[in-house]
Structure 1
Amino acid sequence: MSDDTPDTPEQPDKAADKAADKAADKAADKAARPAEAPQPEKPTPMPKPRTPNLALRRLKAGFKPSRGQAIVAVVLALVACVAVVQVRVNRADDGYQNARREDLIAILDGLGQNTRRLESEIADLEERKNSLSSSADKAQTAREQAEAQIRTLGILAGTMPAVGPGVRITLNDPQGKMTSSNLLDAIEELRDAGAEAIQINGTVRVVASTDFVDNAPGIGIDGQKVSSPYVIEAIGESHNLAEAANFPGGLVSEVTGPQVGGTAEVTELESVSITALHAPEEHRYARPAPSPTK
């Protein structure tokens, strides 16, 4: 036996070559054929227009009322309401017409009782109104009287300002001889002539408890020193006050005489304003007395 063996072809290599040849042939055929043109897309069909339903439109138009139809409907509704009311009234009248005599008498009695009850209530209300009005009038009158009394007492006590006709008296004492007695005499003469409010030098209000003391040069009034010229303003009947000051032997004569040697000027005024106020002090002993019982 010989060691040399014949060479056998490899089967797998042949099969691979055949497959490659077939693929190459297909590619060549495909390249040789012309490219197919793309197919155009089919157009979308348009929707068909809907034909209006004439019968339905006519039916809708028939249900839509016109202005004239609406007016007629309102008039008919009013006529129906009037008819219903008239029928009810007629029925009520028929009820009274067909009622028995005893029933009518009972109805009249009931109406009479209601009338008397209402009249009684009206009378009570009228009486209450008159009572309230009288009470309100009395209260208002009492309030007004109290306010007037407060104003009067305030002016007399010097706790309220005052205005009215009066006089202004100016006393000059160049030598300083005027004393508290001279000034007190002047105040007393003015009070006797009807002076209702008095102030001196625009700062001191003269009241019942005002005191005058000598404090040369000048005069002390309620602890406040005043000096010449002394200006006395008083509210009252201006002519009477001026006559009291100019009376022979009175204020003017005393000041202009040799005892004082001063001057005096009296002026009547239509309006005198007194603004100085007196600060009242609490009484140490005096207390209001109880009202007398009836």
Structure 2
Amino acid sequence: MWFRNARVFRFTKPFDISAEALEEKLAADAFKPCGPQETTRHGWVPPLGKHGELLVHSAGGYHLVALRKEEKVLPAPVIKEMVEEKAEAIEQEQGRKVRKKEKDEIKEEVTLELLPRAFSRNRRTYAYLSPADGVMVVDAGSAKQAEDVASALRQSLGSLPVRPPVLEQAPAFTFTGWLDESIDLPASIELGMECELKDPSEDGGVVRCKGMDLKSDEIQNHLAAGMQVTKLSLTWDENVSFVLDEEFGIRRLKFGETLQEKLDDVDSDDAAAKFDAAFSLMTLELSRLIPGMLDAMGGEDTSAIVSE
């Protein structure tokens, strides 16, 4: 159970919920497959999959949940072809032109006709709540996917006072400062070999660099020309590597050998026990990484966070 991404949400006021209460709330919105005429549906499923039945997996005060989303897949070319065939048939039978509004109505009819035979695409998105740390972390590659999980939780719980962290200074300012050395790079952080630079002007370009020394003359020339760093690959505490973007989105998480060795030391052939051990190791590591990176990025603006 290793997250590949980490989208962080900050609780804006004290929030606590037991695993039992969370289980009860989510049960009302447990996943059910799409009906014959539905294009999409989402709901909560057991994080352990076939190895568990509970909708909440808790360890050390961290509550893991999983949102399953089903989408019916209808190839656009197939729909378009059927719409054109029906429109042509009407034009030949009635001797008139089929206008756009009528074609849109035909498209709706075709979609409803095909839905029962459509393939389903399923995706599970994992998230954990840590009331003690004041954060919720979603394994999502995009802000929208993470917000979808937050919205689903908010709907199930009735209230979920979270928002993305707000930093005291713009991440692009910090990233750029680290590379041009106008800002000291914290001792806990090592630069990787990947970055994205953007020209801040309205029609500015984008330069993506991989496998490069980020202190090289080529990179420095782009910075001297006014480009800003918007993504940066980093290693934290010699144990976790990732790509951090200007939304504080942590992508392509890779946990180091130390954590894997600890997991290998778990003497159990029980899949659920292994899952639990990996989850515990990961959450403890992220509980250090997230505040550490927030501090390294210049600190968090907590003016809108109510502590009591």
TM range (shorter): under 0.3
Q: Choose between structure 1 and 2: higher strand proportion.
A: 2
Q: What is the TM-score when the length of structure 2 is the normalising length? A: 0.22
Q: What is the TM-score when the length of structure 1 is the normalising length? A: 0.22
- Ranked by relative contact order (alpha carbons within 8 Å, sequence separation 6 or more), the top structure is 2
Please identify the structure whose Cα radius of gyration is greater: 1
